[in-house]
Structures are given as C-alpha cells and as structure tokens.
Amino acid sequence: GGGGYGGGGGRRNNNSSRGGAAHLATVLGSEDDKVNCPFYYKIGACRHGERCSRVHIKPAFSQTVLIPHMYVRPPPGADGLPVEDFDHFENFYEEILDELSKYGPIEELNVLENMGDHLIGNVYVKYKTEEGGEKCCTSLRGRYYGGQMLMPEFSLVTNFREARCRQFDEDQCARGGYCNFMHIRRISK
C-alpha cells in the first residue's frame, strides 16, 4: 500500500508555487499579490487612496517617515506657467534637513516633484534607526509648516532604488509629473 497521507507516498513536495511562507514572501508587494497594494508597499502612497481595492499596510513603526505634501511649490507666474523654484527648493531642503536631523541620524532625505495628488510635495526621511523615525513622527504630528498641518506617518519604504523612476533619473520619463514612481528632486549641494 501507498502509506502516508494524501497518497503522496510519504514524500513532501517542497514546490514553492503551491504556497507557504516562502511563496508569500516573494509575492508580498508585487503585482501577483492580490491582497496588498504593490504601489503603497513600494512607494508609500497610492493614487486610489482609501478607495483602493487592495490593502495599504500601515506599519506601527519604521525608520522611514513620510510627510505628505510638505513641499509646496511657489505659485505660477503671471503667464500661468510654473516659475523656477531652484532657490526656494534649496532653502526648503536646508531648513527641513536641519529640523529633521534633530530626531536622529538621517540616511536619506527625499522630496518628490511628482504632480499626482498622492505624491505631490511628499517628503520621505529615512533614519538610521526606528527610534529616529518614532521621534520624528511624534515631534512633527500636528505642527504647522508653510501654513499647513503636518501629518507624518511611518512608511514601509526603505529601498528608494525600488521606488524611484529610473527613466526620470535619466531625464527620459514619458509619463512626466504624473508618473506613479518617485521623481526625486535633485539638490545641488
């Protein structure tokens, strides 16, 4: 007789395509993940917001903090076209770097220049430790900057190479400011 349960002859099939933790680990946050939103997982924001059909995993702690819509571009010129904001941005970056450094050593500070509602002006600060992220979130929550209340939140994003638009980095993104991957603003210093 066949022995064992399920007619498998006592051998276990370790094929990861059948499920299990290894399979779930490779699927989490990918397009194959039918439960969790891959954009929220990779970028910390989703164009569908709360209306998204997939789950947005909101971490209870992280070394990365997202401060949505913190950077506000200057208003358009008299001709209705965007004005050059190089000096405005450099001053903003220096100011927030100084403030955010108070909460712990920073590994990365990224400001987005995407135009989509879910990404416009977003600031991501990745601290060396989760304690830095905690201090930042606690200290900034409810404070005002530029006339708007800051609503910092922990973010799953720790690998900005995966989140950034490579075409934008090469000045070739055909989607422009409405791309769903990060267009990280460059600084001169």
Q: For position 2, what pLDDT does the model report?
A: 47
Residue 156: closest CA among 71, 33, 72: 33
37-41, 90-94, 137-141, 183-187: least confident range:
37-41
Neighbour-count burial of 18, counting CB atoms closer than 10 A to its CB (0-12 exposed, 13-18 middle, 19+ buried):
exposed
Least confident of 36-40, 44-48, 106-110, 124-128: 36-40
DSSP reduced 3-state for 108:
strand
Residues 17 and 160: their CA atoms lie apart, in Å, by 29
pLDDT, average across residues 159-166: 92
pTM for this entry: 0.80
Task: Please report which confidence band the pLDDT of residue 117 belongs to, taking 50, 70 and 90 as the band edges.
Answer: very high
Tokens (6 digits) for 40: 């929220």
The mean per-residue pLDDT over the stretch 128-134 comes to: 98
Q: Model confidence at 42, in pLDDT bands (50, 70, 90)?
A: confident
